[in-house]
A and B are shown apart, each in its own frame.
Chain A
Amino acid sequence: MKLLHNVIDKFEPNFEKGGKFEKLWPLFDGFKTFAMVPGHTAHSGAHIRDGIDLKRTMFTVIVALIPALIFGMWNVGYQHYLALGLAGEMSFIDNILFGAIKVLPMVVVSYGVGLAIEFAFCIYKGHQINEGYLVTGMLIPLIMPVDLPLWMLAISVVFAVVIGKEVFGGTGMNILNPALTARVFAFFAYPTYMSGDKVWINTSTREGQSVVDGYSGATALGDLATSGSTQYSAMDMFLGLIPGSVGETSVVMILIGAFILILAGIGSWQIMLSGVIGALAMGGIFNLFAEYALSPEQQAFMAVPAWQQLIMGGFAFGIVFMATDPVSAAQTAKGKIIYGFLVGFFAIMIRVFNPAYPEGIMLAILLLNVFAPLIDHYVVEGNIKRRMKRAAQLQTVNA
């Protein structure tokens, strides 16, 4: 440990003002503060400080994502061998191994490309490196289909970091959730790789292997949107034994993540809870009005019990990990409840009513990201009005 400290001290002068690599200071500083929390002391105001910092916060979110990541890797393998009719012969390790081979490159590309751009921007601006991308970089592979070509993933990451974040001023300043910005870019730029029934399960075969007869690669939501029924049971959907984006399928694993986030006090339970209520409300309304649907498929989709809407598609993942992003969500306590409710409400509405987008959570969150400042504005405005009213009352009393 002392060694690391010494190495850092030795190289530091090269990166300081007047040093050989002065321009690369943000990069050096990024690595240095990653390796050791600097011994800065409180210089003004309170003399003692909370032990938490942004690195710790981001790290906790990543820990919360790990169950979904591991399960995602296993499920990629499981779904693959299921499609080939080999699921019975494959062990847990085989499934994980196959999944890891597919998923880890996505993680590497996401972090590699994203961090490279972040570093470049920081060096260009001479700013310190912010930790914001640590979580985004993990989220992006988890919300993509496994067969998305890596170069498409890379371009989506570029778009997300540059347009979604850096043009607004970097971490803390963005309006849209950067990870969802990556997904929405891929979704509209390469629709054939992001939707349909061919992308969710890797069906590459080696010699002697073939896809089983009657195989369908559609997700539960895809089935419901086109035919009004799905082969998957509610238990499958809850456990996550269904095709879908890498990390989104298992509600169990997502609940573990939600538990960690809420326990640590990092994820907003208000947003999660009101999101679930919003989704149940919309689902319930659909249940009531299912008989007025325009087509039999739509009628069947609308009649899906409201609670089942919660465990399909990316809803759970979106509401736990993406809607709660503190920067792009509403920031006031009341605003969070309104925001969360509307995310859930619109997610189910888009999902059921719009055949072009079988899943609605992505667009619902992005839409509400845009409206979050407006929601906050009215909440704060309410506080101001209340204060002015009290002030006016006081004045009349004293007059």
Chain B
Amino acid sequence: MSKDLKITKGVNIPLKGKAEQLIGNADRSKVFAIKPTDFTGLFPKLHVKEGAEVKAGDPLIYSKDDNRIQWVSPVSGEVVEIERGEKRKMLSVKVLADKDISYREFPVENPSDLAREAIVKRLLDSGCWPFIRQRPYGVIASPDDTPKSIFISCVNTAPISADQDFVVHGLENEFQTGLNAIKKLTEGSVHLTVTGMSKPSDVFAKIKGVEIHKVSGPHPAGNVGVHIHHIDPVLNNKEKVWYLEPQDVIIIGRLFLEGKYNPTRVVAVTGPMVKNPRYHKLLIGSQITPVIEGQLDSDNNRYISGDVLTGSRIDKDGFLGFYDEEITVLEEGNEPEIFGWIKPGGNKFSISRSLFTWLRPQRQLPLDTSMHGEERAFVVTGEYERVFPFDIYPVQLLKSIMIEDVETMEKLGIFELAEEDMALCEVVCTSKIPVQETLRKGLDLAKQELG
């Protein structure tokens, strides 16, 4: 039973620098890194020592709480560095890649013939399990659970993000095979959401054995959390809904088709600072230097693995994150602005019409990372609700998190949300409240107390 969604609340931020639909041919990076910081709420333990030789698909780290969940090396080579931060927190495990990648071999099998347990085991062994995340809490799923349904959002509405129709182009076989494996994990349905705003890619349209829903509307219409909320909501912490990205379904498909862990993604290298924004085929953990080389004029930039709303800040020679399919470069907005609060508008984005940018709605803005103000107490009301298509009261929820009232958080619907769903609230906030950070605090607290 398909259910079409028309989202009305939200906003498309007119950011400059959308990637052209071309695949670039930058060199493969030499060093790759797996960053435990990409995995919310998990404590990493090392599987290898510095100097060890690994193949692509050999485990590097595993989760302290559940040693079946592990992260594997995207390439073959030598473990050259284990980077640690404050209190010896593990930041990344770096692998120097061989010229020709040798793979750890897995059997080539048709997932439709396998039992659920066999598929779970294969996903865990091969390092593909962490692609599967769950609501509540927006964390990696537990292999002991059975979800009531699984969602795959094939729409990306975040500003200048990777076009899902483009990145899966020509990969029908991998996608269908991956889905056949995923389907075995639930007794409920697998929901595939595709764009209702243009003709969705054939890769999605021809898929079999899933429920297809069309979604349209402004961001966050493409967020999986929005789809779950409207189609099969997570109303308590006992029932889980799992979700994953289309490109990760393809990686899983490849695992079964070729017997290799080959985490290649089509990644959009975007942003107002990039001269020729376009797509590149990159492995998870690739260093970004080769793809941004010669693309930047100035140096005062912010490099982001992921999109501008939820991505994580990385260094100029940083690495592509585990879940990310964009590398975005913005200018750092760290220049003070004389009487900036009086100026008519300039190159600022606002959902409020008190800045005059709204007079030229078609213009693509070269936005920077400036806060445009300072943090204050909540004053203005009703602005979060304009960009938040959930039947949830966002400000009341945040306030309950600030006073650490877990019972109220639960009642107000925190199980349905992850940071990305409230990212726009954070963008439009007049009082510059750190919304995503606060929500994560609440999710961690709720998980700790309620399980």
Complex CA gap A386/B390 in Å reads 13
* Contact flag A394-B427 (CB < 8 Å), given A5-B338, A327-B379: no
Residues of B within 8 A of A1 (CB): 338
Contact present for A56 and B341 (CB under 8 Å): yes
B392 within 8 A of A: yes
Contact present for A387 and B411 (CB under 8 Å): yes
Q: Within B387-418, which residues are at the interface with A (CB < 8 Å)?
A: 391-393, 395-396, 411-413
- In the complex, how many angstroms separate the beta carbon of B156 from the nearest chain A beta carbon? 16
Contact present for A51 and B345 (CB under 8 Å): yes
B200 within 8 A of A: no
Residues of A within 8 A of B413 (CB): 387
* Contact flag A45-B336 (CB < 8 Å), given A54-B430, A57-B379, A333-B382: no
Residues of A within 8 A of B381 (CB): 268, 326, 329, 331, 336
Query: Which of B60-68, B178-186, B352-360 lies at the interface?
Result: B352-360
Contact present for A59 and B341 (CB under 8 Å): yes
Residues of B within 8 A of A384 (CB): 411-412
- In the complex, how many angstroms separate the beta carbon of A59 from the nearest chain B beta carbon? 6
Contact present for A50 and B428 (CB under 8 Å): yes
Interface bits A372-399 vs B (CB < 8 Å: 1, else 0): 0000100010011011101100110010
A167 within 8 A of B: no
Complex CA gap A36/B309 in Å reads 26
Complex CA gap A46/B239 in Å reads 29
Contact present for B310 and A49 (CB under 8 Å): no
Q: Within A69-128, which residues are at the interface with B (CB < 8 Å)?
A: 128
Contact present for B372 and A264 (CB under 8 Å): no
Residue of B nearest to A389 (CB): B235
Complex CA gap A159/B29 in Å reads 66
Contact present for A52 and B336 (CB under 8 Å): no
Residue of B nearest to A1 (CB): B338
Which of B310, B372, B396 contacts A50 (CB under 8 A)? B372
> Which among B236, B376, B431 has the highest number of chain A CB atoms within 10 Å?
B376
Q: Within A220-271, which residues are at the interface with B (CB < 8 Å)?
A: 263-266, 268
- In the complex, how many angstroms separate the beta carbon of A238 from the nearest chain B beta carbon? 27
Q: Within B367-390, which residues are at the interface with A (CB < 8 Å)?
A: 367-374, 376-383, 385
Complex CA gap A333/B368 in Å reads 32
Query: Which of B19-27, B32-40, B111-119, B326-334 lies at the interface?
Result: B326-334
Contact present for A49 and B354 (CB under 8 Å): no
> Which among A38, A169, A398 has the highest number of chain B CB atoms within 10 Å?
A38
A132 within 8 A of B: yes
Interface bits B315-356 vs A (CB < 8 Å: 1, else 0): 000000000000010101111111111100110111111110
Which of B352, B353, B367, B419 contacts A45 (CB under 8 A)? B419
* Contact flag A44-B393 (CB < 8 Å), given A50-B351, A172-B376: no
Contact present for A35 and B339 (CB under 8 Å): yes
* Contact flag A266-B380 (CB < 8 Å), given A39-B336, A45-B436, A50-B350: yes
Contact present for B395 and A331 (CB under 8 Å): yes
Contact present for B338 and A40 (CB under 8 Å): no
- In the complex, how many angstroms separate the beta carbon of A366 from the nearest chain B beta carbon? 19
Contact present for B382 and A57 (CB under 8 Å): no
Complex CA gap A54/B385 in Å reads 18
Residues of A within 8 A of B426 (CB): 45-46, 49
Q: Within B415-444, which residues are at the interface with A (CB < 8 Å)?
A: 419, 423-424, 426-432, 434-437
Residues of A within 8 A of B367 (CB): 48
Contact present for B336 and A38 (CB under 8 Å): yes
A10 within 8 A of B: no
Residue of B nearest to A128 (CB): B374
Complex CA gap A383/B377 in Å reads 25
A288 within 8 A of B: no
Complex CA gap A51/B346 in Å reads 9
Contact present for B382 and A54 (CB under 8 Å): no
Residues of B within 8 A of A171 (CB): 376-377, 379
Complex CA gap A41/B308 in Å reads 13
Residue of A nearest to B272 (CB): A48
Residue of A nearest to B380 (CB): A326
Contact present for A39 and B337 (CB under 8 Å): yes
Contact present for A39 and B348 (CB under 8 Å): no
- In the complex, how many angstroms separate the beta carbon of A139 from the nearest chain B beta carbon? 15
- In the complex, how many angstroms separate the beta carbon of B392 from the nearest chain A beta carbon? 7
B207 within 8 A of A: no
> Which among A4, A36, A128 has the highest number of chain B CB atoms within 10 Å?
A36
Contact present for A50 and B352 (CB under 8 Å): yes
Residues of A within 8 A of B313 (CB): 47
> Which among A37, A52, A55, A331 has the highest number of chain B CB atoms within 10 Å?
A52
Q: Within A326-373, which residues are at the interface with B (CB < 8 Å)?
A: 326-327, 329, 331-333, 336
Complex CA gap A333/B393 in Å reads 10
Contact present for A52 and B373 (CB under 8 Å): yes
Residues of B within 8 A of A53 (CB): 341, 372-374, 376, 430, 432
B311 within 8 A of A: yes
A173 within 8 A of B: yes
A203 within 8 A of B: no
Contact present for A47 and B304 (CB under 8 Å): yes
A60 within 8 A of B: yes
Contact present for B338 and A59 (CB under 8 Å): no
Contact present for A36 and B338 (CB under 8 Å): yes
A42 within 8 A of B: yes
Complex CA gap A39/B374 in Å reads 10
Contact present for B436 and A44 (CB under 8 Å): yes
B122 within 8 A of A: no
* Contact flag A48-B13 (CB < 8 Å), given A37-B336, A40-B371, A384-B411: yes
Interface bits A307-331 vs B (CB < 8 Å: 1, else 0): 0000000000000000000110101
A33 within 8 A of B: yes
Residues of A within 8 A of B370 (CB): 37, 39-42, 49
What is the interface of chain B, defined by CB distance below 8 A to chain A?
Answer: 13, 15, 148, 159, 233, 235-236, 239, 302, 304, 308-311, 313, 328, 330, 332-342, 345-346, 348-355, 357, 367-374, 376-383, 385, 391-393, 395-396, 411-413, 419, 423-424, 426-432, 434-437
What are 6 sample pairs from A and B whose C-beta atoms fall under 8 A apart?
Answer: A40-B371, A52-B354, A130-B376, A131-B376, A387-B413, A394-B235
Query: 8 other contacts beyond A264-B353, A398-B239, with CB at 8 A cut-off?
Result: A1-B338, A36-B338, A41-B302, A45-B310, A49-B370, A50-B429, A52-B428, A53-B432
Closest 8 CB pairs of A and B: A53-B373, A51-B348, A172-B377, A37-B340, A45-B436, A391-B235, A55-B341, A264-B354
